Structure 1
Amino acid sequence: MAIQLVPAPDYRGEAGVMAMRSLQRELAKALQVEDWERVRHLDRICVVLIDKVINANREDKSTLVCALSELKGVYAGLIAQCQREVVFLQAT
């Protein structure tokens, strides 16, 4: 028997989308200030969160599409910023 002090989060429907949006905001902030350690940390959290949202919404494809489409934009920005960093490092 496990002791649980707070209920486990429910990632079904809008709750899952909101959790993804919260993570996206934090990731975007970390990218903006180039806090690469925080970006790495949030990326690891993102992997776990995506699994939880997918598992909670297997029957609700529209929720999955919404949550993952928005996240795709954040990662596109991350990739673009990484490419700029590489170009900058190669130029110096």
Structure 2
Amino acid sequence: MRLQLVEPIDYAGQAGVMQVRSLQHALNVALEAEDWEKVRRLDQSCAVVIDKVIFANEGDTKAIAEALNELKGVYASLIVQCKREVALMAH
């Protein structure tokens, strides 16, 4: 049996922003596919990643703001799509 270690993920600076962008892309793909289970799992992961990015960038508010600003667009799209789904159910 061989033990293989995984490199730790870097959440500081641009690396943290890239982690958020990766989740953002995956969320967009899941939204387009209307894969609500995947959206739910990614949303849960997103909260954890954001916490790690904030912690790793305590002195770098620019990196935090950049990551969160881009992500808010995804959530705005999610809200619009959810409203559309509810409207379709009502008719």
**TM (normalized to structure 2)?**
0.94
The equivalent of 1:15 in structure 2 is 15
The equivalent of 1:38 in structure 2 is 38
Q: Deviations over 1:14-73 (max 9, x none)?
A: 000000000000000000010000000100100100000000001000001000000000
The equivalent of 1:73 in structure 2 is 73
Instruction: Provide structure 1 residue ranges, at least 5 long, that are not aligned to the other structure.
Output: none
The equivalent of 1:57 in structure 2 is 57
Report the CA distance between 1:4 and its aligned residue.
7.7
Report the CA distance between 1:7 and its aligned residue.
2.5
Report percent identity of matched pairs: 57
Runs of 4+ in 1 over 4 A off after TM superposition: none
Instruction: Provide structure 2 residue ranges, at least 5 long, that are not aligned to the other structure.
Output: none
Report the CA distance between 1:5 and its aligned residue.
1.0
Number of equivalences: 89
**Letter of the aligned partner of 2:23 in structure 1?**
L
Computed over aligned residues only, the root mean square deviation of the Cα atoms, in angstroms, reads 1.2
The equivalent of 1:82 in structure 2 is 82
